[in-house]
Structure 1
Amino acid sequence: MAESGLAMWLSLLLLLLLPGPLPVAGMEDAAFPHLGESSQPPPRACPPRCSCPRVDTVDCDGLDLRVFPDNITRAAQHLSLQNNQLQELPYNELSRLSGLRTLNLHNNLISSEGLPDEAFESLTQLQHIYVAHNKLSVAPQFLPRSLRVADLAANQVMEIFPLTFGEKPALRSVYLHNNQLSNAGLPPDAFRGSEAVATLSLSNNRLSYLPPSLPPSLERLHLQNNLISKVPRGALSRQTQLRELYLQHNQLTDSGLDATTFSKLHSLEYLDLSHNQLTTVPAGLPRTLAILHLGRNRIRQVEAARLHGARGLRYLLLQHNQLGSSGLPAGVLRPLRGLHTLHLYGNGLDRVPLALPRRLRALVLPHNHVATLGARDLAATPGLMELNLAYNRLTSARVHHRAFRRLRALRSLDLAGNQLTRLPMGLPTGLHTLRLQRNQLRMLEPEPLTGLDQLQELSLAHNRLRVGDIGPGTWHELQALQVRHRLVSHTIPRAPPSPCLHCHIPNILVSWS
């Protein structure tokens, strides 16, 4: 007992003689707060000029770094090195950071030579990797099994390996757009064992046909801006969850598709086939399809049988094709009962298509050859809210005074760029926008504008109106008018405007040129 008591006193005496507290981890300040200089924890290590807002986050964004920082804390889970000048990743430094979950290397100068095959081998918890906008010519051979998002876009990648994206059960999104991938560089088992991939972007590459063996879990597939001329039979037979398919700006022809190409896509809602070389509407379209974009093809005629399966279609875009007078036979679109918007501009149609779906809300027909608008041409679409007939060949003599009689829901009417010499009669009283610029209007009278008390925008620029051509009371009922684009243009007034010319012009200023 005496010896133990003596030992205790010797320990206390030693404590009093030491210059500071003993280095007992976690107990210095708690046991002897009066001996420590501060009660705050010591500052965390952070690479020079970087920001470390949390113990698990290191942000070295945009510092012009040329060398990978060598003092990153092992506790880091989120590391950003984007917007620097890095050319290589040292394996020794990366291997220390086994807890990383996010690694952002976007916009550097990293080449495949500067990226060792085993670079990411120890990052067993990595979920998000961003290596877009670098100099990679081949993809990393091995990426962690834990990966959820992989972004290798905007590199020079020509080859993918089986374990780059294969055997990744948690992988959801892969971005490979803006590379140099051909079909030879994409192995058939590239996604084997990765059954959760929902988004795959392969746009802006050099693919000549749709890759086989794509993940069946896909929901969004981007293949635009390639060289695709063919979709092999069965290539999309397993993608029953696919909702969006982008194939625009390719070289697809009718022979590159068949009746089964899209028939198994039971969840497809958006299909973009614009900017190809199709001459007909593809067959086998699924019932779930809501948006079909076929603009900028070579379609001459729409066949009813081709649209039979797509009865849920709401938006049909057929602009800039070769549809002539017989391109849309009467009633060919009538089965599309839910059709909301029909885009037909830039074709050769000489009249408004007859027997359109009754629920149509927007008909966009500029830059065609429409020369006549009969009394019943628009009678089948009483719910129409937007009608665009700009830059056609309409004359006042061939626009029936009852052409717009049933369009009580119409809010926007565009008749710009035609050959009208007077305002059309029977305009719907609910109009908010009326565009008549670039016609041959020679007079404005009150009668055609009667009842348009909701009209907010009226465009009359580039006509042949002069000051004396505007009848008294023309503006009287246009109490809601807010925008009027250059009422009189490219003319010289016959006489100075009278003091009363501005009477009854609400909320606008008359301009002259």
Structure 2
Amino acid sequence: MVTRCPARGHPDLPLNPQRLSLLLLLLLLPGLPPALGMEDDASFPHLGESSQPPPRACPPRCSCPRPDTVDCDGLDLRVFPDNITRAAQHLSLQFLPRSLRVADLAANEVTEIFPLTFGEKPALRSVYLHNNQLSNAGLPPDAFRGSEAVATLSLSSNQLSYVPPSLPPSLERLHLQNNLISKVPRGALSRQTHLRELYLQHNQLTDSGLDATTFSKLHSLEYLDLSHNQLAEVPAGLPRTLAVLHLGRNRIRWVEAARLGGLRGLRYLLLQHNQLGATGLPAGALRQLRGLHTLHLYGNRLDRVPQALPRRLRALVLPHNRVATLGARDLASTPRLAELNLAYNCLASARVHLRAFRRLRALRSLDLAGNQLTQLPSGLPAGLHTLRLQRNQLRALEPEPLAGLHQLQELSLAHNRLRVGDIGPGTWHELQALQVLDLSHNQLSFVPPDLPEALEELHLQGNRIGHVGPEAFLSTPRLRALFLRANRLHMTSIAPEAFLGLLHLRVVDTTGNLEPVLVRLPPTAPRRPRAAGP
């Protein structure tokens, strides 16, 4: 007798209800062939293969119907979902909780924000969408509707071509830099009366993309950055509340006084790297800026210091222009100036008036590097802390121009044509506070004598020094760092006694000489024992 084994699916066996439901579900799913079981054998798994695909990464409670889709709608999430697959291209977060305070979706590939994604969120304060691929088409008008507390919105580094017109009226900080913005539509910023910071740098704004009403309703605006655009003039209708106006790296040729007339609280005006020429800043164009503290004009085409500057100006930055003359009264209107930078202009000693700096009693930093000076300027302010004269054509140093500079702490004379014999006796005598002296890249054949006693850092690299005697540093007991590289020193060029009294010396650089130079630093000074406490 042959015993037959019962086959699976035998009609005499009861069918599992769950299996029936699964089969019905498969039959009803779209895209499946109507005659299940008629497919080629190759469409079925072979022996030992799983009939289920490997599980995909999906955030808890969310669904992932396709490999590129993550659906977290309506889950009342309290934290941003994790475990999102790298293949995800569509992420749905509609119906985020009303209690949401911060939404950070920066540095992704977001191309579209669904309607009301950030709307109806009364507690929402900050939204970060920078470094994505958002265009104006991907930002619906009602994306923020009903969210009345959003203070910070970052849309920088996207693909916006104009300022979105439906931004939250509660904004205080708006980042739109690094986009493709060429226009601010009329009224786009008319409701943002609380806005304090607006960043529009690195865009494609031209004068036609702005009008007199663009910024006029921003009654709280303090910081406006329009740098790195294509503006040819200062925008009209700027808010009187501005403290910082950044217009650098544009194409501005002329500054109209009326455009800045109402900005009496402006503290920082940045106009560097524009196209301001000889007539670009008419006399008195900036006079009404009574609170101006800092004026940046470097990288333009100015041939003289602007006239009639605000009296309270503290920093005037003018390097890389074409200033060739400094008259007796060119700086008379700025007696409170603390920093003056005229580096890399065309100043020659014969064209710098003896009294050019006479009224600058508050001046602490003077930079005249990169000009054509052959001698030290006269009449330097007694309160100077820093004096930079590198990369000129200095051939001699006399004590008179440095007399009275008792507060000078840093002096740079690098890249000139100085020889030791050209340094007059007593040149360093009154520099009682000098801590840093740079004489590098000159024509010195030995260490200059009688250096200031307070000196801590001495740069002598790139000269012609071939010998350092035992008395070279007797006048500088506080020396901490000495740079002698790229000279003409040999193995035995430095006297063993040269560093004996320099108990604070920690750095001696002798690389790049004719031979390796061995330097033995003096022993450190013993520490005094602390007094025992009571």
TM-score band, normalised by shorter chain: 0.7 to 0.9
* 1:396 to 2:349 alignment: yes
The separation in 2 between residues aligned to 1:477 and 1:453, in whole angstroms, is 6
Does residue 89 in structure 1 map to residue 58 in structure 2? yes
Give how far 1:311 is off. Answer: 2.0
Deviation of 1:511 after TM superposition, in Å, equals 2.0
Q: Could you say which residue in structure 1 is the equivalent of 2:303?
A: 350
Distance across 1 between alignment mates of 2:206 and 2:299: 21
Specify the code of the residue in structure 2 equivalent to 1:467: V
Give the structure-1-normalised TM-score: 0.75
Q: Is the 8 A contact 1:258 1:283 kept in 2?
A: yes
**Which residue number in structure 2 is paired with residue 140 of structure 1?**
92
* Displacement of 1:130: 8.9
TM-score of the superposed pair, with normalisation by structure 2: 0.73
Q: Is the Cα contact below 8 Å between 2:437 and 2:455 reproduced in 1?
A: no
Partner of 2:450: 502
Q: Which runs of 4+ in 1 moved over 4 A?
A: 110-115, 127-136
Aligned residue for 2:274? 321
Q: What secondary structure is seen at the aligned counterpart in 1 of 2:295?
A: strand
- CA distance in 2 between counterparts of 1:130 and 1:364 reads 50
Counterparts of 2:332 and 2:170, CA distance in 1: 45
Tell me, what secondary structure is at the counterpart of 2:127?
strand
User: Residues 135 and 337 of structure 1: is their aligned pair in 2 closer, same or farther, counting only changes over 3 Å?
Assistant: farther
Q: Which amino acid aligns with 1:484?
A: L
1:442 aligns with 2:395: yes
Instruction: Write out per-residue CA displacement over residues 468-502 of structure 1, whole angstroms, 9 at most, x where no aligned residue.
Output: 010000001111111112x1524253xx568xx23
SS at the partner of 1:342?
A: strand
Take 2:117 and 2:211, find their aligned partners in 1: how far apart are those partners? 32
Residue identity in the other structure for 1:446: P
Letter in 2 for 1:182: S
- The amino acid of 1:185's aligned partner reads G
- Matched-pair contact (CA < 8 Å) for 1:216–1:240: yes
Give the Cα separation in 2 of the matches to 1:348 and 1:308. Answer: 23
State the 1:503 CA deviation.
5.0
Q: Distance in 1 between matches of 2:84 and 2:391?
A: 48
User: Does the aligned pair in 1 maintain the 2:203–2:228 contact within 8 Å?
Assistant: yes
Residue aligned with 1:116, SS: strand
Q: How many residues align?
A: 406
SS in 1 for 2:411: strand
1:283–1:87 distance in 2 versus 1, CA, 3 Å: farther
In 1, distance between residues paired with 2:307 and 2:289? 14
Say which SS state the counterpart of residue 350 (structure 2) adopts.
Answer: helix
Structure 1: any 5+ residue segments left out of the alignment?
1-85, 96-109
**1:511 matched residue in structure 2:** 460
Per-residue CA shift, 1:287-330, capped at 9, x if unaligned?
A: 10000000000000000111122221110000000000000000
2:443 pairs with 1:491:
yes
2:362 to 397, 409, 414: 409
**SS of structure 1 residue aligned to 2:316:** strand
The question of whether the paired residues in 1 share the 8 Å contact of 2:276 and 2:302 is answered with yes
Percentage of identical aligned residues: 78
> How far apart, CA to CA, are the structure 2 residues paired with 1:403 and 1:130?
66
Distance 1:245 1:111 in 2: 41
Query: Gaps spanning 5+ residues in structure 2: where?
Result: 1-54, 464-534
Distance 1:497 1:195, change over 3 A: closer
- Which residue is equivalent to 2:146? 193
| Aligned-pair CA distance for 1:144 | 2.0
What amino acid does structure 2 have at the position aligned with 1:368? N
Letter in 2 for 1:90: P
Q: 2:121 aligns with which of 168, 182, 187?
A: 168
In structure 2, what is the equivalent of residue 52 of structure 1?
A: none
- 1:473 paired with 2:426, answer yes
From the superposition, tell whether residues 423 and 252 of structure 1 become closer, same or farther in structure 2 (CA, over 3 Å): same
- Find the residue that maps to 2:70 and give its secondary structure: coil
Give the CA deviation at 1:91.
4.1
8 A Cα contact 2:59 2:84, kept in partner: no
User: What root-mean-square deviation, in Å, do the aligned CA atoms of Structure 1 and Structure 2 show?
Assistant: 2.3
Task: State the structure with more CA Rg.
Answer: 2
Deviation per CA, 1:445-486: give whole Å up to 9, x if none: 10000110100000000001011010000001111111112x
